[in-house]
Amino acid sequence: MENAIQRMTNEIVRIMDGELCGVWLYGSVVLDDFRLGWSDIDFVALSRGGISEAQAEKLLFLRQELKKEEPENLYYRSFEGVIAGLKEYRGRSFRRLVYWGTSGQRITDRCERDCFSELELAKYGRAVYGDQPWPFPAPGREALRTAVQRHYESIRKCAVQTDESLYSCGWLLDIARCVYTLRYHDVFAKTQAGVWALEERLFSDEEPLKRTLELRRDPLSRKDSEEVKQWLRGLGPTVQSYADVLERELTRESETSR
């Protein structure tokens, strides 16, 4: 993985032709919780100036190009992130940026800055290019509570029914992390959040969470199992029952902050 991170960083630096001020990793990679086949290599790269159209075109499919050059390296497909101008990122107004995500990549002028990612970058982000820490402060308590509320609403809307992807049971870990964030205004690795939730006896039905943690420890060997896929497809009611716990936690947090 480190070889892929270094190669990817070098290529972004080369394409940006000396204009890059930093590349920062966050998420499971820096929280020591990366699982190939499930996790992403999350990053943000910021340039001193804006990104030209030519640079954006070269960056757009860089993941795929490196994968073709090194087909044995399975990590290139895991990169997800944003490449943007520093001033534009600070002002939350973009002329042009490059976005890499699970569903693909695009050149766009919009970027929804995720509060959880901002917290991870500020507290735990690791610079792999440039020697400066993440240049923006961590979000405050109210911003985190609002972010958890929005995530809760997404769970209620999008996870009533689940499919056979590992992200279906990943909702359970997300819920555990949200409860932890509400209580401590910090962020946990997903595996740690699941273990913590079991220790705290957050959920009355713990077996789905235990199974999720087993899958997370070795996702590549189990995710194609038909039995596992069937279980994942039927997790909607379980996710919603876990969301009930998060709802109560949000109510408690709201009452405390009054």
104 and 6 together in one domain: yes
Whether residue 164 is found in the same domain as residue 240: yes
Beta bridge partners of 107: 98
> What is residue 204's DSSP assignment?
S
* Position 105 in a domain: yes
Q: How far apart are CA 134 and CA 125, in angstroms?
A: 7
pLDDT for the residue 257: 66
93 occurs within a structural domain: yes
Alpha carbons 175 and 181: distance in angstroms, whole number: 10
Residues 111 and 214 in one domain: no
Q: State whether residue 19 is helix, strand or coil.
A: coil
In a domain, 198, yes or no: yes
Helices then strands, each counted (H, E), the chain: 11, 6
Task: Determine how β-strand 104-108 pairs with β-strand 126-129.
Answer: unpaired
- DSSP letter (8 states) at residue 139: P
Asked whether residue 69 is domain-assigned, the answer is yes
pTM: 0.92
Per the structure block, which two tokens stand in for 129?
């290019």
Q: Which domain holds residue 8?
A: 2-129
In a domain, 134, yes or no: no
In the chain, the number of structural domains is: 2
Using CA atoms, how far apart are residues 188 and 181, in angstroms rounded to an integer? 8
Q: What is the pLDDT of residue 258?
A: 61
Pair 13, 125 in one domain: yes
Residue 135 lies in a domain: no
Q: What are phi and psi of 215, to 5 degrees?
A: -65, -40
Name the one residue in this structure whose structure tokens are 């910021």.
46
Q: Among 101, 129, 157, where does a domain finish?
A: 129
Last residue of a domain, one of 73, 100, 129: 129
3-state secondary structure of 21: strand
Residue-level pLDDT, tens digit, the chain, 258 residues: 999 999 999 999 999 998 999 999 999 999 999 999 889 999 999 999 999 999 999 999 999 999 999 999 999 999 999 999 999 999 999 999 999 998 899 999 998 888 999 999 999 999 999 988 999 999 999 999 999 999 999 999 999 999 999 999 999 999 999 999 999 999 989 999 999 999 999 999 999 999 999 999 989 887 788 999 999 999 999 999 999 999 999 999 877 766
- Whether 108 and 157 map to the same domain: the answer is no
Domain presence at residue 17: yes
Phi, psi of 108 (to 5 degrees): -145, 175
Residues whose CB falls within 8 Å of the CB of residue 63, separated by 6 or more in sequence, listed in order: 8, 76, 77, 79, 100, 105
Query: Which are the contacts of 79, defined by CB distance < 8 A and separation ≥ 6?
Result: 4, 8, 40, 41, 43, 63, 100
* Domain membership flag for residue 136: no
